Amino acid sequence: MFSYDTLKKILFKFEPETAHHIAEFGLKALGNCRIAKAYMEKKNYISNTKLTQDVFGVKFENPVGLAAGFDKNATMIKAMKSLGFGFTEIGTMTPRPQDGNPKPRMFRYPEQKSVQNAMGFNNLGAHTVLKNLKKVYPFSIPIGANIGKNKTTPEEYALSDYKTLINKFKDSCDYLVINISSPNTPNLRDLQNEKFITELFVMAKELTSKPILLKIAPDMEAKVAIDLCKCAVNAGADGIIATNTTIDYSLVPNCQNFGGLSGACLTQKSGNLFKELARELFGKTILISVGGISNGAQAYERIKNGATLVQAYSGLIFEGPSMVRKINEEILELLQKDGFENIKDAIGANLKEK
C-alpha cells in the first residue's frame, strides 16, 4: 500500500475530469471487491453511539456525508462506506441524459485547496441512474438523490422536470434534494424565488412523503437567503442544505471567470451564510452544512452553529480517503472536550448559549 500523497501526485498529472474518471473506476472496483471493501470499511468507517442520530426517521451512524456532484450516476455508492461516509448523495440527475458544458470544465487550484467546476449537470439521465440506484438501494448508509432540470427545459416548464424526477426517485432513496442553485445551468438560479419555491414544494409534498430538502447558493444576501428558506419550509421543505458552489471569483487568484468554486476557498463564505441561516431557522427545520469542510474543527463548528449533518467533496481530492475518518475522530474528541455525551447535545450549542 502506498500513501495518498503518492497517489495524488500521479492523479494531479491528469486533467481534473480525467482524474475523476480514474477515481470512479477505482471506487467501482473497490465496491465490487468484498475483501478490499471490508478492509477499508474497518479502517475508515466510524460507527459510534455518540455520533448516531435519527434524522427524518432515518438512522445516520455518523454525521459526515458525501456532497452531490461526485457520484452523478450512482455508480460508486458501494464504496462510500469504505471512505468513511455516514451517508451519500448522488446526482445531480436530470430527466433526460445530458453531456454538460464544453470541456475543459473542471480546474484545480492546489495552493488554495480548491476546485472550480462548470460541469453543467452532465449525467446519464434519470432512467439509467435509477437502474444503477435500484441495484444497491436500500443500502447500509442513507442515500440522498439530488435532482435538477435539463438545460434545454424552459423556466416555465421547470416544475414539470422536478415532478418527473420526484416520481422517478421517491421510492429509491432516503431523501431528495431540489437543486436550483448550481451556477452551471443557464438561468437555473433564477428559480431561487419565493413563487417558484412555493409551487415546487407544495407539488412535491403531494407526490411523496419522502423528506425533500432545498439546496441554496452562497452568493445571495443573508436576508434574501433566509426569506427563501423560510418560504421553502412553510411550503413543506423538510430541510435546507447550505451551500452550493460560489461564483465569487475574488476568492481564488487567476481562476476562470465561469463555473462554481468549492473547497477551502469557500469555507468562510459558506460558513458565514450558514450561521446567518441557522440563527433564523435552527429548531424549525433540519439544517445540513456543506462548503469548504475538510477537518473535524470545521465540521464541529458548523454542528455547534446548528448543522445536524455536514457534507464534503472537494476536500477529499486534497486530503484523500482518510479524511472522513479523521473528521469523525476529531468530532468525537471535541465532543468529549466540551462535555457532550452525544452529538445531538452539540447541535446548535452556539445558538443555545445566547
Looking at the predicted structure, is the pLDDT value of residue 25 above 80? yes
Which residue among the candidates 82, 182, 262, 314 is catalytic per the annotation? 182
Distance CA 335, CA 333 (A): 5
> Could you read off the pLDDT of 259-297 as tens digits, one per residue?
999 999 999 999 999 999 999 999 999 999 999 999 999
Tell me which CATH code domain 4-352 carries: 3.20.20.70
* Joined grid coordinates for residue 346: 452539540
- Which backbone phi and psi does 252 adopt, to 5 degrees? -130, 120
Cell 470499511, residue located? 41
**What is the arithmetic mean of pLDDT over 158-163?**
98
| 133, 172 contact by CB (below 8 A) | yes
Short-list 100, 65, 114, CA closest to 85: 65
Q: Is the pTM of this model over 0.95?
A: yes
Among 60, 83, 61, 89, which Cα is nearest to 325's? 83
140 is catalytic: no
Q: Which residues contact 30 (CB under 8 A, 6 or more apart)?
A: 36, 37, 40, 78, 79, 82
Mean per-residue pLDDT, 85-111: 98
Confidence band of 352 (pLDDT split at 50, 70, 90): confident
